[in-house]
Amino acid sequence: MKKAGILTIILLAGFCWAQESSGFQPASTNVWGAEYPRVDSAGKVQIRVKAPDATKVKLNFWSGPKVDMEKQPDGFWTVTTTPLVPGLHYYTLIIDGAEVSDTNSQAFFGGGKYASAVEVPEPGSTYYSIQDVPHGQVREVWYNSKVTGTWRHALVYLPPNYDTQTKARYPVLYLQHGGGEDETGWIRQGHANVILDNLIAAGSCKPMIIVMAYGYARRAGQAAPDLTGKPFGSPEMMKAIQDMSAAFEDDVTQALIPYIDQTFRTIPDRDHRAMAGLSLGGMQTFQITLNHLDLFSYIGGFSGAGGMLVLGDRKLDPKTDYNGVFADPAAFAKKVHLLWLGVGTKEPERMRAGLLRLHTSLQEANIQHVFYESPGTDHEWQTWRRDLKDFAPRLF
């Protein structure tokens, strides 16, 4: 009777889990053959992990639920979340205090490490999904940088027919990742290549080359700073960020751009060169482009335009900030064909307030620009996918 009772409990538990799972489908971000994580049409996510000897397992979505999982009689731990907003959500598992990745998920580089993620589809949205249209290619390149004294890595998107239309030349968008991510982010997490394929096929934007570079740099011979115990905002931390930004600026302008123009069929002038970036990449974009308007004429900041100015508490001073490039609105408009700012409506208040303040400051200074708000999204990839979808058709 005891064995029969235990079997009944196991069968009932399995039945209840199966009933709860109805309508759920494996996430597109799973490894091959993995049934979990699963997502339903409402955006709820089910996670299931085998840890028979664990005493406590917790699910940790970085920008979402942090909930205890329940142990099942078969040694699996399970949980069903509340609905999540559409997009890519990083998460880890806390198993008896140890933070680990979910082996059922693909690994994505974010937060300075490889982590799990689950894709929650956006109902009715196809702009970042692979369609039956001509596809471009993403290639890996290495370039030798005298600025850093190292070989540097980048990904390059080439539009459809690049290899067959051998006399065609193309404008270039330099597209940067955010802090804690790397040059793979815009392809693996952001699907930038798919977004461009679909936009080009629809006739919504011009064919272009996109360059996605590794955004961290240190000058040749410069030792890494010891930031142990130094909080964000400390003088030591800010000095390190400034040094890295200056080194990356020189790497882009002195090494990367010349390499790209020598290697690919670009149109190598400022009227056909753009730069945009998300978060840290948006800060880098403003610094590099506004210091080098001889090289760039299209500028995009995705949740990061303005950098420390946005994170501070003051408004833009058009006469002094960025070496006074905003002091003469008419002159700026002649040089810059597009200045674009974007933010999600659910982003952290400090980030959102700072970008709204920058937007207002630019309006008051009569600087022509585009301000876009992604409805319902946080400091996350769905915001930046939407940003690219709006930004790219305005280029060139």
DSSP H or E stretch at residue 321: none
Question: What pLDDT sits at residue 194?
Answer: 98
Do 76 and 150 fall into the same domain? no
Do 52 and 174 fall into the same domain? no
Do 33 and 93 fall into the same domain? yes
Contact 144, 217 (CB under 8 A): no
Do 288 and 159 fall into the same domain? yes
3-state secondary structure at position 140: strand
Residue with tokens 């000897």: 53
Query: CATH number for the domain including 193?
Result: 3.40.50.1820
Q: Is 149 left (phi over 0), alpha (psi -120 to 50) or beta?
A: left
Q: Please name which of 162, 9, 135, 125 lies closest in space to residue 73, comparing C-alpha atoms.
A: 9
**Number of domains into which the chain is organized:** 2
For residue 138, CA distances in Å to 178, 211, 266 come to 19, 10, 16
Do 112 and 149 fall into the same domain? no
Contact 95, 23 (CB under 8 A): no
pTM score, whole prediction: 0.91
In this structure, are strands 172-176 and 209-213 parallel, antiparallel, or unpaired? Answer: parallel
Q: Please name which of 179, 161, 178 lies closest in space to residue 170, comparing C-alpha atoms.
A: 161
Cα separation, 258 vs 252, in Å, equals 9
Domain residues for the domain of 79 are 25-120
Question: What pLDDT sits at residue 10?
Answer: 40
Chain segment 135-184, per-residue pLDDT in tens: 999 999 999 999 999 999 999 999 999 999 999 999 999 999 999 999 99
What percentage of the chain's residues is helix, strand, coil (to nearest 5)?
A: 30, 25, 45
Is residue 18 assigned to a domain? no
Cα separation, 386 vs 190, in Å, equals 10
Question: What pLDDT sits at residue 7?
Answer: 44
Cα separation, 253 vs 102, in Å, equals 40
In the chain, beta strands by DSSP E: 25-26, 38-39, 45-50, 57-61, 66-68, 70-71, 76-80, 87-95, 98-100, 108-110, 113-120, 137-145, 150-158, 172-176, 209-213, 273-278, 298-302, 338-344, 370-374
Last residue of a domain, one of 86, 120, 154: 120
Residue with tokens 């056909």: 272
Is residue 228 assigned to a domain? no
Is residue 385 assigned to a domain? yes
Do 106 and 177 fall into the same domain? no
Say which amino acid occupies 113: K
Do 218 and 327 fall into the same domain? yes
The helix/strand count (H/E) of the chain reads as 10, 19
Do 89 and 184 fall into the same domain? no
Do 168 and 92 fall into the same domain? no
Do 213 and 275 fall into the same domain? yes
Cβ neighbors of 226 (< 8 A, separation 6 or more) are: none
Query: CATH number for the domain including 48?
Result: 2.60.40.10
What are the structure tokens assigned to 183, written together?
């040059």
Cα separation, 217 vs 246, in Å, equals 9
Last residue of a domain, one of 120, 150, 173: 120
Do 144 and 108 fall into the same domain? no
Which parts of the chain have pLDDT scores under 70? 1-22, 232-233, 307-312
Do 248 and 200 fall into the same domain? yes
